[in-house]
Amino acid sequence: MQWDTDQYKLFGRRTAMLAGGKLLLLSTLVGRMYYLQVLQADRYKTLAEENRMSMRLLPPPRGRILDRYGIPLAVNEQNYRVVIIPEQTKSVKETLLALGKVIGISSTESRRILREVKRKRSFVPVTVRENLTWEDVAQIEVNAPDLPGAMIDVGESRYYPDGYETAHILGYVAAVSEKDLTGDPLLELPGFRIGKSGIEKVHDLILRGTGGTSQVEVNAYGRVIRELNRQEGKPGAEIKLSIDIGLQKVAVERLGEESGAAVVIDIHTGDILAMASTPSYDPNAFNRGLSTKEWKSLIGNNRKPLNNKAISGQYAPGSTFKMIVALAALEKGVIGPEQKVFCSGHVELGTARFHCWKKRGHGAVDLVQAIQSSCDVYFYEIARRTGIERIASMARRFGFGSSLGLDISGERSGLIPDKGWKRAELGEGWHQGETLLAGIGQGYVLATPLQLAVMTARLANGGEAVRPHLTSSIQTDGTKVNKEIKAVKNIGVNSSHIELVRKAMNAVTNIPGGTAFRSRISDQRYAMAGKTGTAQVRRISKAEREVGVIKNKDLPWEQRDHASFVGFAPVDAPRYAVAVVVEHGGSGSKTAAPIARDILLEVQKRGAVSQPGQDQPMIDQPPIPERDA
């Protein structure tokens, strides 16, 4: 019996110990559950919600670009694209083969799509083709049962209604490259486009807008189940330009097949009303993606359609530079308004002979007559007396030799040489013969069409340092900010000298004997003043002069002279200035002057109509002369 009692006592102790252990474990478990479910409830609820919900960034609509009258120049339109969702097809390759029979898919495209499929998760759509036509969309929808995994998606794409006419101003948008990544999450969105040139590039940040967000419910694999909340982003700013698209079209049309540029500017405000460069290109092609053939065609064209010749083309200004030389000579006092220089057809400097464009010369001419007939000998002589330093100083006051600060990328500074420049750049001293060449706008002198237009504007407005611009206003969130027009300073040129030069420019177009007389505007309400220019791109040999200079039309295109014209109108109360440069166009009076005439006539008529932006017909003009200048 004693043994049974001891055995029961041992069993009781063990039972108590086990019960205590279980109680301890249960207490610990209850405590842990209380800690997790009560004390840490908010934290784990948040973690669970974050695992269940996902935030997606939404691209905002890109801001529109308008002309001065509110006509759209860059807009967004629906972009139909076909995508493939890999998890919804047994074989992506087979779907691509079937899809290729409907819309045609190249082997290069197929390789690109398959690479993206491998990089992305199976439920993420992969873009096959963007910018589908309505016919393509219809064909895909009709064949949908035979295209597992393929579907139509709708987005937005940049579109330029007048792409060819505005390409060099607006530029274009294209896909984000690796070097464009700045940390902005918008740049990492599939299909996102940014400005690559022109206004699109200069104002890219404000045109992008602010991205929106979409809160979606996803499963454990990251697949979207449903959208819980959406907050749209803010559209990009709306930008209004100074450009008149109607005038811009006229300028491009008048340049036609020529390789050249034309700039029209308001001489008082600096508004650029038209800035044409030809040949041009279609910026919409960059948005949809250029083919290899299209790209080679653009870069292989010797007339450089991708270059904005209006601001990046640098040309010898030729005789259009003679007004600058005349003003420098008048300021120094080396020539008077009525003082004459005799032109025999050439001048000699040492062993060198410098020829006038008119072989037998112009005889005795004063300043007005010299500009009217574009006498080279007169300007050789007054340039020699004035010196290159004073000519360079005057040129810089009129906007030559440096950037004008235009609100667009790609502007070049041209070149106004002087003794210091040649010593620094070429390590040589200046020669007097180089001063003579500068006197007729050749030699080292280079200018852009924009600079020629600004020079003309400053002549026409009496010497005010007007500066050109393209952006008129920017509107963001309903708030419109107009372009700030800074007070214009006077460039410090004697007003009577400017008036004399303007009188000479009037004689060029409106008095018989002027180099552009036959290209004048016959309606006196719109009469223009101007100056022709012809710049050689090759040296004419002594043998060629003896047998007679070969006509430009008989030379290969790249050896022909550049043609230019600058002018302002109306003569009595100037408001507009124009500059036209035609590469290898031959005679300034024959090629450039008629183009400038029609553009100046059009801008005046458009400025006079009560409904701005309405196209007006151009009046007929008499035939142009065969003379050079």
Residues catalogued as catalytic: 319
* DSSP-derived 3-state class of residue 415: strand
Amino acid at 398: F
Q: What whole-number distance in Å separates Cα of residue 281 and Cα of residue 304?
A: 10
User: What b/e sequence results for 341-355 when a residue is b if at least 16 CB atoms lie within 10 Å of its CB, and e otherwise?
Assistant: bebebebeeeeeebb
Report DSSP state, residue 161.
T
DSSP codes of every residue in 512-581: TT-TTGGGS-SSGGG--EEEEEEE-SSPPPHHHHHH-PPPGGGS-GGGSPEEEEEEEE-SSS--EEEEEE
Which DSSP string corresponds to 68-95? TTS-EEEEEEEEEEEEE-GGG-S-HHHH
Question: How is 336-377 classified by DSSP, letter by letter?
Answer: -TT--EEESSEEEETTEEEE-SSTT--EEE-HHHHHHHT-HH
The SS3 call for residue 154 is: strand
Phi, psi (deg, nearest 5) at residue 575: -135, -30
Q: What is the DSSP string of 109-121?
A: HHHHHHHHHHHS-
Whether the Cβ atoms of residue 502 and residue 508 lie closer than 8 Å to each other: no
Measured in degrees and rounded to the nearest 5, phi and psi for residue 475 equal -115, 120
First to last CA, the chain: 143
Contact (CB, 8 A) for 504 and 337: no
Distance CA 264, CA 578 (A): 5
Nearest-10 Cα torsion for 27, 28, 30, 34: 130
Burial of residue 569 (number of CB atoms within 10 Å: 0-12, 13-18, 19+): buried
| Contacting residues for 438 by C-beta, under 8 A, at least 6 apart | 321, 325, 383, 388, 391, 417, 444, 445
100 Cβ contact list (under 8 Å, min separation 6): 110
Which DSSP string do the residues of 219-276 spell out, in sequence order? -TT--EEEEEEEE--BPPPEEEES--HHHHHHHHHHHTTSSEEEEEEETTT-BEEEEE
Cβ–Cβ contacts within 10 Å for residue 217, how many?
A: 13
User: Residue 69, Cβ neighbours under 10 Å: how many?
Assistant: 15
Q: Cβ(75)–Cβ(138) under 8 Å?
A: no
Task: Pick the closest to residue 71 from 154, 149, 160, 1 (CA basis).
Answer: 160
260-266 and 212-218 beta bridge pairing: unpaired
At 422, give phi and psi (nearest 5°). Answer: -65, -40
CB-CB contact of 295 with 307 (8 Å): no
